[in-house]
Copies of this chain bind each other. A is one copy, B any other.
Amino acid sequence: MTALDQVLSRIDADLDNSLERLFAFLRIPSISTDPAHAGDCRAAAAHLAADLRSLGIEATLSETAGHPVVLGHSGGGDKGRVLFYGHYDVQPVDPLDLWATPPFEPRIATLPDGRKAIVARGACDDKGQVMTFVEACRAYVAVTGKLPLPITLLIEGEEECGSKSLPAWIEANRGSLAANLALVCDTGMWDPKTPAITTALRGLLYEEVEITAADRDLHSGLFGGPARNPIRVLTKILGGLHDDDGRITIPGFYDGITDPPAEVLAGWRSLDLTPENFLKPVGLSEPAGERGRALIEQLFSRPACDINGIWGGYTGAGSKTVIPSKAFAKVSFRLVAGQDPDTIRQAFRAYVRAKLPTDCSARFEDHTGAPAVAVPWDLPQLAAARTALTAEWGRDALLVGSGASIPIVADFKRLIGMDTLLIGFGLDDDRIHSPNEKYDLVSFHRGIRSWARILHALAE
């Protein structure tokens, strides 16, 4: 029996205890956005740090401007160190009356199709996922007396309220965070049987634009015709952001973008992410992105522009014949590797300004900007982790993209120069952020086993 086999056996045998430890963690209502729960957040952090110390990991609470970070360091060794990231905070629980049982009283439920699941706020996001990694470490320590490779853990407490304190904290603590690779457990499987590694995350640039024409609101009867209407100007400019092929018309917007390897693209296209599966459930039928790109490319590897909000003039009931002084919009861009947020921001602003007619001015507000992140397709640890996941689940682990942004991953790359593997065991029906959040018992159990295999593979 190899050491890995012994570790996996130990995990199987200890599952009830692993669950009990997860339940203890879940019972702490660490809702980070609610100041009334600040004490609970600190308690959850302390609970986790104590648990890590029981594994021989030197773990402390590191203060931030907000809730503390749990920072853990295992002993050295000559293997490449990995940094594991997760978060101990959870989402609020309202509406409370939609929960079948109290959100901080975890239990095992049997789903209608027979699956067993852990039900509680944080069961999946992210306490359950964090504990898959911690329990894998525990099994290693129990069986071999030590971890298979040096590990740093960074478990933050503000992910659910924007991770506001984290970038400054990382900047201040980059020396303690040095590692060869980051591992994040906050994503999902492709489906209940197919594991996945998220290798590409789109970046985000979010701008607010305000167009001003006259210096006051005007009556459209007395002024309509000769008076410049800022809503008309705004619709003309924003209505021109896409051409008839769905491509964004800002000069230089697509510069620097490359396609994923043909093998990866072919893999994506063979997946069941079809309009029927992805769009029909929300009442749509046809991909609205760039013509000639498969839906999954539009989502994983192509940039996009959305108007997230627009307002101006009279928006109440009935009619008001006003020509407003100002009109506003919130416009965001999902970026892919090769696109720099600052460059795109300047290009967007220049595009708007170039289209302003006489008597109009534009003011911009920068809401956020984060570059896309892409794991190099030829990263050796990517192949190792993929093989390990495939061995555990009996199915090829998929390399997928994500339309959404996870800013921490960009920070790891930018500030520490580390690549990140995003591996998680959540499922689409986990109801994270909603009442009756759950985490499949299989996700938890095989998640622990998956990490044991991945740590083993990375230590080779």
Contacts and interface: CB of A to CB of B under 8 A. Distances in A.
Contacts of A358: 285-286, 288
B319 A226 contact: no
Given A224-B332, A228-B286, A232-B238, 16 more contacts: A202-B221, A202-B224, A204-B221, A213-B284, A220-B306, A221-B334, A225-B290, A231-B309, A232-B306, A234-B310, A237-B239, A283-B359, A308-B324, A319-B332, A319-B368, A320-B330
Interface of chain A, main secondary structure: mixed
Interface in A155-188: none
Interface residues of A, number: 82
Closest 3 CB pairs of A and B: A239-B239, A221-B404, A215-B283
A219 to B, nearest CB: 7
Interface in A171-215: 202, 204, 206, 208, 213-215
A314 B318 contact: no
A306 B224 contact: yes
Contacts of A252: none
B310 A327 contact: yes
Contact of A214 (B215, B283, B309): B283
Contacts of A283: 213-216, 359
Nearest to A320: B308
Contacts of A314: 308-309, 330
A288 B319 contact: no
Interface in A97-147: none
A403 interface: yes
A323 interface: yes
B310 A313 contact: yes
Contact of A320 (B309, B359, B403, B405): B309
Contacts of A286: 228, 358-359
A302 B239 contact: no
A219 B239 CA distance: 21
Contact of A308 (B237, B307, B322): B322
Number of this chain's copies in the assembly equals 2
A383 to B, nearest CB: 27
Contacts of A223: 282, 299, 403
Contacts of A240: 239
Contact of A236 (B239, B290, B404): B239
A431 to B, nearest CB: 14
A240 B238 CA distance: 11
Given A216-B282, A232-B238, A279-B227, A288 B359 contact: yes
Interface string A329-352: 110101000000000000000000
Interface centre among A228, A298, A319 (most CB of B within 10 A): A319
Interface of A: 202, 204, 206, 208, 213-216, 218-229, 231-232, 234-242, 275, 278-279, 282-290, 295, 298-299, 302-315, 318-324, 327-330, 332, 334, 357-359, 367-368, 402-405
27 contacts: A216-B283, A218-B282, A220-B304, A221-B334, A222-B404, A223-B282, A224-B306, A224-B403, A225-B289, A225-B304, A227-B282, A229-B288, A231-B310, A232-B242, A235-B310, A236-B239, A236-B242, A283-B359, A285-B359, A307-B312, A308-B321, A308-B323, A309-B312, A309-B320, A310-B311, A315-B330, A319-B368
